[in-house]
């Protein structure tokens, strides 16, 4: 009896100790819930992503609220995405100031050797797994400075990166109405000062969806969606200005859109060989992972001999990258479709035919293609008025956000404040 009591007591002590040490270790990387005195004195930033909003939409369609926002704020001719110009790599580049090769989200789909699993944007388990994400996204950088943050969606915001998430956040649900997102952002700005977030991210997928469905040249469909979105943004701008707070609103998009007829879709199944290699398709870049690396040259030569509307490269020689890709998760061989072509599944190509669809919009292509460019518009007390800069790479958004919020800019990022600081008041 006595021995059992002692053993039980020992067990209780051990469990208590281990749960204590757990608490201590999470406390090191804990989410900030209260602004420090210094943070309370900082301005506010709302970072808004308009997925797939191409650089020329505002000039083509004159949405009233966005046009007024730009006129009294700053803009760049366009925002140049990173390769591949897909949604997840580019949102996370905007959030971290790093190219995909460095931040780790190298595609909407990719194989991870460390995790021995495939990351897919529709797989909630991997999307929420912080292990896939490198760098210090802006909400973490703010968190480190004891600044309260919030997110109504942004790639990475739902993952426990370095054990930290935004103070307030939602798991992604594309069905949440845009109005609900705006109402919540305005509620956050009305919270008591100690708990009020200074860094808020928001995300709207409307223009990406309409662009994919009808292509970027269908003015009628684009303008309909754009005006709806513009109304919602107008409500946000009004609501923000009523708070009287020093809020800087930064609007970006992850990429543009190119018209791709379905006749230029290439069935990916034609190139697959599950026995010899794993094939990861992002439409505009296909990663090949040989199962046995001693077969690499044979696989490469075989694919190379079959080039038709696409080209095959050893990874380090692949064009379109801004750097020599180093992350092993790319695989050793890449297949790149010729401009205007796109890899998809045979089922999807057949479905489009059955629905008598001929045109689609796609992105992911070479960032040098102007159709792939997105937008950067910003307005607020820390920014100039009516100021335009040339096209700029999206790696530079992060250091700008850090500067506005008075956060330390990590020295291992790819972005550079000097490239963008002229949009700030009192800066050349």
Which parts of this chain interact with Zn ion (CB under 5 A)?
Answer: 51-52, 87, 208, 254
CB 206, min distance to ligand AMP, A = 9
**d(C-alpha 344, C-alpha 325), whole Å:** 24
CB 77, min distance to ligand AMP, A = 23
Residue 327 contacts which entry, Zn ion, ligand AMP, none (Cβ below 5-8 A, type-dependent): none
CB 417, min distance to ligand AMP, A = 27
Does 121 participate in binding ligand AMP (rule CB under 6 A)?
yes
CB 206, min distance to Zn ion, A = 11
**Whether residue 84 has a cis bond before it, omega within 30° of 0:** yes
Does 208 participate in binding ligand AMP (rule CB under 6 A)?
yes
Question: Interface with ligand AMP by CB under 6 A: which range of 140-148, 201-209, 293-301, 317-325?
Answer: 201-209
Strands 79-80 and 392-393: parallel
Question: Interface with ligand AMP by CB under 6 A: which range of 58-66, 205-213, 230-238, 288-296?
Answer: 205-213
Question: Interface with ligand AMP by CB under 6 A: which range of 7-15, 200-208, 341-349, 415-423?
Answer: 200-208
For residue 302, is it left (φ>0), alpha (ψ between -120 and 50) or beta? Answer: alpha
**d(C-alpha 401, C-alpha 409), whole Å:** 9
- Residue 341 CA to its chain's centroid (Å): 24
Q: Which token pair is 55?
A: 């650089």
Contact 306, 271 (CB under 8 A): yes
Which stretches does DSSP call E strand in 68-198?
Answer: 74-76, 79-80, 109-112, 117-120, 149-152, 168-169
Contact 129, 179 (CB under 8 A): no
CA neighbours closer than 13 Å in the CB half-sphere of residue 168? 20
CB 163, min distance to Zn ion, A = 28
Comparing CB distances to ligand AMP, the nearer of 100 and 290 is 100
CB 312, min distance to ligand AMP, A = 23
Q: Site mask, ligand AMP, residues 72-111, x = CB under 6 A?
A: --------------xx--------------------x---
Residues that bind ligand AMP (CB under 6 A): 51, 86-87, 108, 121, 127, 153, 155, 172, 174, 203, 205, 208-209
């Amino acid at each position: 009896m006595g021995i059992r009591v002692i053993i039980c007591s020992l067990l209780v002590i051990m469990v208590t100790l281990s749960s204590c040490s757990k608490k201590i270790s999470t406390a090191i990387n804990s989410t900030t819930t209260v602004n420090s005195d210094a943070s309370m004195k900082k301005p506010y930033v709302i970072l808004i992503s308009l997925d797939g909003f191409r650089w020329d939409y505002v000039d083509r369609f004159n949405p009233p609220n966005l046009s007024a926002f730009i006129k009294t704020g700053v803009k760049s001719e366009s925002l140049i995405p990173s390769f591949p110009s897909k949604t997840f790599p580019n949102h996370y580049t905007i959030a971290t100031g790093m190219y995909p090769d460095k931040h780790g989200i190298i595609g909407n789909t990719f194989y991870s050797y460390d995790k021995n699993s495939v990351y897919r944007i529709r797989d909630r388990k991997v999307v929420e797994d912080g292990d896939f994400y490198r760098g210090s996204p802006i909400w973490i950088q703010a968190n480190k400075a004891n600044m309260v943050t919030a997110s109504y969606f942004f790639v990475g915001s739902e993952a426990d990166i370095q054990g930290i998430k935004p103070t307030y956040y939602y798991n992604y649900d594309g069905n949440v109405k845009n109005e609900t997102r705006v109402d919540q952002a305005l509620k956050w700005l009305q919270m008591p000062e100690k708990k009020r977030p200074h860094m808020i991210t928001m995300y709207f997928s409307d223009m990406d969806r309409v662009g994919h469905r009808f292509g970027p040249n269908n003015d009628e469909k684009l303008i309909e969606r754009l005006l709806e979105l513009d109304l919602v943004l107008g409500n946000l701008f009004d609501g923000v200005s009523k708070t009287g707070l020093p809020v800087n609103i930064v609007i970006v998009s992850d990429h543009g859109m190119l018209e791709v007829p379905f006749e230029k879709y290439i069935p990916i199944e034609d190139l697959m060989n599950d026995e010899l290699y794993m094939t990861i398709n992002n439409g505009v870049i296909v990663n090949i992972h040989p199962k046995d690396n001693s077969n690499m040259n044979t696989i490469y030569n075989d694919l190379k001999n079959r080039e038709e509307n696409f080209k095959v490269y050893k990874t380090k020689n692949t064009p379109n990258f801004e750097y020599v890709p180093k992350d092993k998760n790319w695989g050793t061989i890449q297949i790149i479709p010729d401009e205007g072509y796109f890899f998809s599944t045979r089922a999807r190509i057949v479905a489009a035919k059955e629905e008598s669809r001929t045109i689609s919009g796609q992105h992911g292509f070479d960032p040098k293609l102007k159709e792939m460019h997105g937008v950067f518009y910003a307005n607020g007390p820390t920014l100039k008025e009516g100021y335009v800069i040339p096209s700029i790479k999206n790696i530079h958004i992060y250091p700008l956000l850090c500067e506005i919020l008075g956060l330390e800019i990590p020295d291992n990022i790819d972005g550079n404040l000097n490239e963008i600081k002229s949009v700030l008041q009192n800066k050349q």
